[in-house]
Structure 1
Amino acid sequence: MTRTGDARRTAIVDRAMHVASVEGLEGLTLGRLAEVLRTSKSGIQTLFGTKQELQLSIVAAASRVFERDVLLPAEQQPAGLPRLRALMSLWIDYLETFEGGCLFVAAASELDGRSGPVRDAVADAVARADALLQRDVELARRLRELPSDTDVEQLVFELHAMVLQANHDRQLLGRKDALTRARNAVDHLLGIEQQTGDAASPT
């Protein structure tokens, strides 16, 4: 593929991520994308070949966005609780990246009962994010920034649940305070309010 073709493909995928976050990966056919972009279906088909290739390209691109906007900036923070807090804050910010909210939340709900390469790609992306979250929780526990008896897997479950609930409330219910509530819930789970209160208590 020529550089011009690569650039056009990238531009199309960038737009397709937003459309898929609203209409779903399954709803985004080559014809529908051509309609949104006001171009020919044959032109889209030349670049992607099949609907499945388009879907996989969208999932891969969304993964790169998540890495760029969430994972890499969080890695710049000191290991332990600062990095964990940054990861969660950036992850909550990510919910505003696409027009329809988190593309992976939408895709997971759409594909969780199915099988195939697209479902596997979505599952792999979610599993990678969860693994990094678990790594940072475990490290914060080992550094004694979280209690030594912290149930790492339970805390990971609850932190991820805060992200899912925030996306649900923001997108489905139109609650403008959803992201703020998610941040407050994360702070509570990580004991940040308790630490602040302890620091302010008279000795």
Structure 2
Amino acid sequence: MSLGQTIGTRVAGTRAFAASADAPLLVTMIGAQKPVSEVHRMIEASGAEIKESRNVRLGGRASNMFLVTNVDPMALKKQFEGQVFDFFSVFPAKNTVQDIKGPYCETSPLLPYVRKATMSVPFKKGVVNEITEFLCSKGVTLSHMDEYRSGKDIVLECIMHLPTGLAEFPSVDDKYVLQNLEALGCTVAEFGRVEGRPQAEKAAKN
């Protein structure tokens, strides 16, 4: 389904676009996976300020949701013209409940390469692009990235999959990733391995 078929539709009598440029909007897209940095760049190119985002990859498809402000909805539409998605919408934002992600399987051979990271960085335009572009350039896959504002900082809560070294990208160690994140201005509050479900369940019972 192309953008032109979905972005201007009306659903249950609700307008697809907010009336004013400063009203918060929820941008939702589902389709073939695109680098998070690419989607981020396209939204910011419209003049939008990203307040929060949820980005999830599953089964070869990606779902991206962005809460944005200070943008003309039609400017957002123009940035995504020609792009193809399974679903794309821009609607006035409403209150939402954050989902809680479950743990990974303990027996997965890729589990040793999975990291849970929480970091903050002073807000400036394009700073999240810099962070995600660095990670993507080193073969680090962001399967989850929650982004929100805390005062003058942006807080990122991520699940990262480090490259194994067996495919296109060479392996990277934790120290290298942390040093480069700090060089980009990040304060890393958490960066550690993810435990599988059986271990997590045992710990909860003890």
Structure 1 and Structure 2 fold alike (TM over 0.5): no
Going by fraction, where is strand more abundant, 1 or 2?
Answer: 2
Normalised by the length of structure 1, the TM-score is 0.27
Normalised by the length of structure 2, the TM-score is 0.26
Of structures 1 and 2, the one scoring higher in RCO (CA 8 A, sep 6+) is 2
Going by fraction, where is helix more abundant, 1 or 2?
Answer: 1
Higher Cα radius of gyration:
1
